Structure 1
């Protein structure tokens, strides 16, 4: 299992997934279905996330099945920012759905 901090348009969130990569087409499809088409993703060491979230982590992880391979561990971006420093996170993965438009700001 993998844990990721996603920086999205509506703010940061922590997810837990059985996919080995945040760039797996199946997880990207699930994120798009939840309205997340553009994000920065940082992998969070699994054991570190488990330690910081304690019992809540276990509840979410034990409810993760092959048919339900994406779970939100934390919707509260402020809490996630407080629990992890950037030094503890992996290198960012930048994702922007193809076909996304960039608005003119001029």
Structure 2
């Protein structure tokens, strides 16, 4: 599972995905169907995400209503932005439709 902070037009969101990379063509297509056509994404360590989000992480991972290949962990941009330091983020992945 990969965790990524996606900076979109409406602000940062934290996503969990089973795709190999944050610019995987199938992930890009799925995000585009959800209206996210342009983004800058930073992978973050999934273990740190699990530690910082605790029970919420577990609840989201066990939510059967969400697709298993893409789960939204946090859509509160201010909260997402402040949960991780820049030095904890991997190099950016950019997508521009």
- TM surpasses 0.5: yes
Q: Is the 8 A contact 1:4 1:42 kept in 2?
A: yes
Instruction: Give the Cα–Cα distance (whole angstroms) in 2 for the partners of residues 47 and 92 of structure 1.
Output: 19
Structure 1: gaps (5+ residues): 98-106
Instruction: Give the Cα–Cα distance (whole angstroms) in 1 for the partners of residues 64 and 43 of structure 2.
Output: 18
For the pair shown, the structure with the greater C-alpha radius of gyration is 1
User: How many pairs were matched up?
Assistant: 96
Structure 2: gaps (5+ residues): none
Instruction: Kindly report the root-mean-square deviation, in angstroms, between the aligned alpha carbons of the 2 structures.
Output: 1.5
Q: Which residue of 1 aligns with 2:44?
A: 44
Moved over 2 A (4+): 62-65
Partner SS, residue 55 of structure 1: helix
Q: Does 1:29 align with 2:25?
A: no
1:62 shift after superposition: 2.6
| TM-score (normalizing by structure 1) | 0.85
Comparing both structures, which one devotes a greater share of its residues to strand? 2
Partner SS, residue 36 of structure 1: coil
Partner SS, residue 54 of structure 1: helix
1:91 shift after superposition: 0.5
| TM-score (normalizing by structure 2) | 0.92
